[in-house]
């Protein structure tokens, strides 16, 4: 009997929640076939079968959180037929008396569906059997668009095609939402951060007028660069000047560990909750590379295609909630980092310039939460001033990159 255990699917993982089983007791599986989905604080990962065989027992129920090493299910491994076994089988067939020819019953082949956990979730939510969904991807992978296209045709799985029986009992007066998966893991991590780190949030406003004008020039020249790419570059310069915010507090050894690498986490909203994919070694990437990398990570986060390497620990996290319409917030630090910065809505305001002239500028609010154990308010203000200066005068930012 082969044990399928929860193993570390990401750097530093210690536990995970059972999100869904892709097989049932009695099912036959092949080696590397996904059998269970596990939710961590950053992603939903599929665990494959280590051998081919028959599922004999499922030990942990859906929704339960277990530690790494816990046995989840058991598989009875299929024995490989030896030459002697085959010879005995042939001999028995030859020695059997000839019987009336019967048409053999062939079990329908079960198609192993390739799909991301997010795509599987959409299918489950709508009662769709993924084996019935045609894949448009050349690799045979069923995508989110394939499922939605299948849904629009009105075709459902056999279970949902059954006639709907009118309910005789009154509908409940309240609606419940399962508190599990990524949402539950986010809650645990946020609670740990808030109850461990003494948070202080500093607010600042930044004049985005020149930067937005520069973006338009680059776009007209066929070189579009996202605002996030500029933000990351400016953050790296500011973090190099104020390394205490690119650090972790090691309480056990009573020291602040200053990171020498710049792995920038970019908070991304998805249907399953907030995910923080990481732009690793961001200081070594060009502006165009940053633009491409952030776009790729955001797209994969939304479709559930992030890899474990995309979610390795960051050294500093940023959150751009401006496109959602936010004007301010007190963000919770991504533990065990020492700070997190959030960018809010940019809108035109009437301002007074250095010549006391009334002008209209594109202004953005930002909020920065920091660990008051490792930094003071004055340091945080100096950090955001440095960042704001680079954004308000993007030519100075370009000079820093030379």
Break the chain down into helix, strand, coil percent, rounded to 5: 30, 25, 40
Contact 291, 226 (CB under 8 A): yes
Beta pairing partners, 201: 369
202: tokens are 């500093």
Instruction: Give the H or E element holding residue 360.
Output: strand 358-371
Q: Is 263 a catalytic residue?
A: no
Distance CA 20, CA 25 (A): 14
26: tokens are 């009695």
> DSSP label at 196?
H
Could you tell me whether strands 264-266 and 316-320 are parallel, antiparallel, or unpaired per DSSP bridges? parallel
Strand ranges in 194-338 using DSSP code E only, listed in sequence order: 199-207, 247-250, 255-258, 264-266, 268-270, 273-275, 278-279, 316-320
Among 188, 181, 176, 129, smallest CA distance to 19 is for: 181
Contact 38, 56 (CB under 8 A): no
200: tokens are 């202080």
Residue tagged active-site, from 126, 199, 202, 372 = 372
Catalytic residues, by residue number, are 372
């Amino acid at each position: 009997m082969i044990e399928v255990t929860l193993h570390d699917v990401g750097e530093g993982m210690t536990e995970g929640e059972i999100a869904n089983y892709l097989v049932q007791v009695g099912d036959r599986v092949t080696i590397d076939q996904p059998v269970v989905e596990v939710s961590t604080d950053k992603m939903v990962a599929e665990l494959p079968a280590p051998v081919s065989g028959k599922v004999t027992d499922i030990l942990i129920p859906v929704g339960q959180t277990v530690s790494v090493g816990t046995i989840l299910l058991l598989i009875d491994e299929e024995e490989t037929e030896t030459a002697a076994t085959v010879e005995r089988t042939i001999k028995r067939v030859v020695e059997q008396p000839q019987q009336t020819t019967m048409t053999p019953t062939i079990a329908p082949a079960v198609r192993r569906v390739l799909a991301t956990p997010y795509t599987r979730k959409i299918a489950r939510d709508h009662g769709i059997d993924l084996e019935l969904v045609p894949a448009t991807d050349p690799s045979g992978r069923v995508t989110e668009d394939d499922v939605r296209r299948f849904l629009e045709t009105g075709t459902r799985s056999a279970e949902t095609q059954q006639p709907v029986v009118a309910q005789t009992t009154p509908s409940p007066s309240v609606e419940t939402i399962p508190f599990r998966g990524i949402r539950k893991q986010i809650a645990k991590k946020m609670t740990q951060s808030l109850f461990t780190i003494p948070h202080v949030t500093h607010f600042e406003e930044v004049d985005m007028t020149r930067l937005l004008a520069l973006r338009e020039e680059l776009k007209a020249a066929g070189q579009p660069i996202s605002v996030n790419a500029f933000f990351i570059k400016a953050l790296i310069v500011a973090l190099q000047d104020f390394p205490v915010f690119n650090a972790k507090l090691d309480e056990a050894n009573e020291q602040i560990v200053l990171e020498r690498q710049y792995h920038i986490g970019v908070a991304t909203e998805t249907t399953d909750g907030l995910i923080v994919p990481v732009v690793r070694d961001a200081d070594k990437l060009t502006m165009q590379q940053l633009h491409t990398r952030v776009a790729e990570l955001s797209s994969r986060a939304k479709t559930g295609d992030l890899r474990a390497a995309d979610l390795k620990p960051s050294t500093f996290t940023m959150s751009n909630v401006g496109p959602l319409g936010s004007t301010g917030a007190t963000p919770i630090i991504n533990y065990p980092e020492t700070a997190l910065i959030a960018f809010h809505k940019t809108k035109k305001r009437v301002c007074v310039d250095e010549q006391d002239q009334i002008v209209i500028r594109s202004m953005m609010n930002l909020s920065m939460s920091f660990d008051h154990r490792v930094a003071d308010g004055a340091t945080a203000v100096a950090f955001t001033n440095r960042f704001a200066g680079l954004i308000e005068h993007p030519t100075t930012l370009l000079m820093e990159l030379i």
